[in-house]
Chains A and B, each alone.
Chain A
Amino acid sequence: MTRLRALTSSFRHQMLHFFAEPQWLIPNIIAPFVMTLVALMLFRNSSGNFVLYAILGGGMMGMWGNTIYSSGYSIQFDRWNGTLEAVLATPAPLVWIIAGRALWNALIGILNAVFIFIIAVVWFQVPLALADPLLFFLALFVTLLSLAALGLVFSSAFVLTRNANVLTNGLEFPIYVGTGTMFPIAMLPAWSGPLSLSLAPSWGIDAMRYSALSGYVGLDMGYWGDMVMMIILAFVYVTAAFLLFQKVENRVRVKGDIGRI
């Protein structure tokens, strides 16, 4: 019971902080937003489908950026506040606390994506006609959950070391490349295939493309294949996160360095 309460109250806790300082959303909207605009510029001589393609990619980048940024930031925020030790001293397991926060951050990821969609549509005046809106929103939802799960995994690195922000900064662009947000994964070198496919966003963007762009042909498994893969990956991530957090929590108690900023 404590675990579930830790989840829900951390969700609420993160929400409170968001509304206290909503401008902190801006840093992780900017990158994907600008990248989308750049891509749209590059795509500008191409036909209509290309534009929606770019916007979807931008939305995905926005969601991903938010996940990776916020999962790291929320732990660092606790460190700066000095509350990480206080939280560690409660009976609530850390992984459930962070999971609650990751869920809220995933939700905000939608805001990110929506913002990008709106601006791109308004600015470039592209009709946003989704081939199958229902399936699209389902894909969006599942993608968000799998992103939250992946964010949870990354958070464990942050508990371990304050330097983990190198990880967030360092992973942002590789993920944009590796998950084929703005171009097909097939264009990447063959050896990177397995890496790309181990990341939920790769399947997510493919599913979203299937449901938004009529006549799209992407990964062999099709829309439903993509969805299944994402759910499987989400389970894998969550399991990994639980194991990692156990190890990490133990290690910080042995080393005793969690209090340092």
Chain B
Amino acid sequence: MFARVRDFIRVFWSSAVLAKNALFNWLSPPMWIMQLFSISLFQIAFFVYVTKYVQNPDISVTYVAIGNALQSISYVTVFAVCNITGEEKQQGTLVPILSTPANRMAMFVGRAMFQIVNGIATAVIALFYAAFLFGVDFSHADMLALGIVIVITAFAMTGFGLMLSSIGLYLRTSMIIANIFLFIGLLFCGVNFPVSYLPGYLQPISYGIPMTFGTDAARAAVDGSSLLGISGTLGLEILVGLVALLLGYLMFTMFENLSRKRGTMDRY
């Protein structure tokens, strides 16, 4: 039992280190930092300007700025994580790593770990933009609560991303799924407008994505709500994230077996 836990941790850690090294071999640190700083900036800018132009009384600049700041986590957690399997397939390393006895969960969650850190950093920077460039008022904000929202959202969305990457394992492309879900977030997660704007039959989708709860909680925290006040929302977010992770793991095992039967594992 102890040996298995130890192996798990080992696989987990070395997958995380591998992911970090792989990222920095591909993307030099200056480029990475540049990406970190620019991704959220223009996205927030875009929607802030549209909001200002349209002047819809329901939706303020603050609403949009905070929403997009949180949503920027998706670039890293959803997009990058989802593409993990795609990259492995493309490099041809999927077959070799799946032929090891290493625990799959440890491997993939380990690789995603770095993106969680990435995601948190992205969101924090985005919130700085919101405060200093777009004039969002943080004077009443509960910073602790806000911080916790970010961390939980990063984890939950990574779980979501892992679920998507499992789907990508089976289909020939995780790139398309990653793209779809990256931007679906803009529509469904209460980022730029409340979920209530969507037609009734689509709203359940929103509540299946952890980000929806995250944007809500973030706005409440910026407004001054304490951790206690948003604990219900956060609890739901954690739940949805865990369900996604579990689903992802189940799908992963299922798809692994299916692709072993059908021989589709290294078809890119």
**Residues 1 to 50 of chain B near chain A (Cβ within 8 Å):** 26-28, 31, 34-35, 38-39, 42-43, 45-47, 49-50
Chain A residues whose CB sits within 8 angstroms of the CB of B46 once the complex forms? 35, 173, 176-177, 182
**Residues 134 to 166 of chain A near chain B (Cβ within 8 Å):** 163, 166
B94 within 8 A of A: no
B27 near A163: Cβ-Cβ < 8 Å: yes
One of A7-15, A40-48, A107-115 contacting the partner: A40-48
One of B52-60, B151-159, B223-231 contacting the partner: B52-60
**Residues 178 to 195 of chain A near chain B (Cβ within 8 Å):** 182-184, 187-188
> How far, in angstroms, from A23 to B56 measured CA to CA in the complex?
36
B176 near A27: Cβ-Cβ < 8 Å: yes
B207 within 8 A of A: no
A184 near B175: Cβ-Cβ < 8 Å: no
User: With A38-B192, A163-B27, A166-B35 as given contacts, are A188 and B49 in contact (CB-CB < 8 Å)?
Assistant: yes
Looking at chain B's contact residues, the main secondary structure is helix
User: With A176-B42, A177-B45, A183-B52 as given contacts, are A42 and B193 in contact (CB-CB < 8 Å)?
Assistant: yes
B49 near A183: Cβ-Cβ < 8 Å: yes
**Residues 19 to 66 of chain A near chain B (Cβ within 8 Å):** 23-24, 26-27, 30-31, 33-35, 37-39, 41-46, 50
B176 near A173: Cβ-Cβ < 8 Å: no
User: With A30-B180, A34-B187 as given contacts, are A166 and B34 in contact (CB-CB < 8 Å)?
Assistant: yes
Chain A residues whose CB sits within 8 angstroms of the CB of B175 once the complex forms? 27
B93 within 8 A of A: no
User: With A26-B179, A170-B34 as given contacts, are A41 and B192 in contact (CB-CB < 8 Å)?
Assistant: yes
Question: What sequence of 0s and 1s flags, for each residue 50-70 of chain B, a beta carbon within 8 Å of any chain A beta carbon?
Answer: 111110100100000000000
> How far, in angstroms, from A23 to B175 measured CA to CA in the complex?
10
Chain B residues whose CB sits within 8 angstroms of the CB of A259 once the complex forms? none
B184 within 8 A of A: yes
User: With A34-B183, A38-B193, A163-B31 as given contacts, are A177 and B53 in contact (CB-CB < 8 Å)?
Assistant: no
> How far, in angstroms, from A30 to B179 measured CA to CA in the complex?
7
Chain B CB within 10 A, most for which of A23, A35, A50: A35
A41 near B179: Cβ-Cβ < 8 Å: no
B186 within 8 A of A: yes
Chain B CB within 10 A, most for which of A31, A80, A173: A173
> How far, in angstroms, from A50 to B50 measured CA to CA in the complex?
11
B192 near A42: Cβ-Cβ < 8 Å: yes
> How far, in angstroms, from A255 to B59 measured CA to CA in the complex?
53
Tell me, rounded to whole Å, the shortest Cβ–Cβ distance linking B154 to chain A: 20
B179 near A177: Cβ-Cβ < 8 Å: no
Chain B residues whose CB sits within 8 angstroms of the CB of A182 once the complex forms? 46, 49-50, 53
A169 within 8 A of B: yes
Chain A residues whose CB sits within 8 angstroms of the CB of B90 once the complex forms? 80
Looking at chain A's contact residues, the main secondary structure is helix
A174 within 8 A of B: yes
> How far, in angstroms, from A183 to B59 measured CA to CA in the complex?
16
Interface size of A by CB at 8 A reads 33
> How far, in angstroms, from A251 to B42 measured CA to CA in the complex?
32
B201 within 8 A of A: no
> How far, in angstroms, from A24 to B45 measured CA to CA in the complex?
28
A34 near B193: Cβ-Cβ < 8 Å: no
A45 near B176: Cβ-Cβ < 8 Å: no
Tell me, rounded to whole Å, the shortest Cβ–Cβ distance linking A129 to chain B: 21
Tell me, rounded to whole Å, the shortest Cβ–Cβ distance linking A4 to chain B: 34
A43 near B34: Cβ-Cβ < 8 Å: no
> How far, in angstroms, from A30 to B180 measured CA to CA in the complex?
6
Chain B residues whose CB sits within 8 angstroms of the CB of A41 once the complex forms? 187, 192-193, 197
> How far, in angstroms, from A34 to B43 measured CA to CA in the complex?
13
Chain A residues whose CB sits within 8 angstroms of the CB of B192 once the complex forms? 38, 41-42
> How far, in angstroms, from A182 to B48 measured CA to CA in the complex?
11
> How far, in angstroms, from A53 to B182 measured CA to CA in the complex?
25
Instruction: Give chain A's interface residues, CB within 8 Å of chain B.
Output: 23-24, 26-27, 30-31, 33-35, 37-39, 41-46, 50, 80, 163, 166, 169-170, 173-174, 176-177, 182-184, 187-188
| Other A-B pairs, 17, CB within 8 Å; known A41-B192, A166-B35, A183-B49 | A30-B180, A33-B183, A34-B187, A35-B183, A35-B186, A38-B187, A42-B47, A42-B193, A43-B54, A44-B56, A45-B56, A163-B27, A169-B35, A170-B38, A173-B46, A174-B38, A187-B52
Can you list 12 A-B contacts with CB-CB less than 8 angstroms, sorted by A residue number? A26-B179, A30-B179, A35-B186, A37-B187, A38-B193, A42-B193, A45-B56, A50-B54, A163-B28, A166-B34, A176-B42, A177-B42
Instruction: Give chain B's interface residues, CB within 8 Å of chain A.
Output: 26-28, 31, 34-35, 38-39, 42-43, 45-47, 49-54, 56, 59, 90, 173, 175-176, 179-180, 182-184, 186-187, 192-193, 197
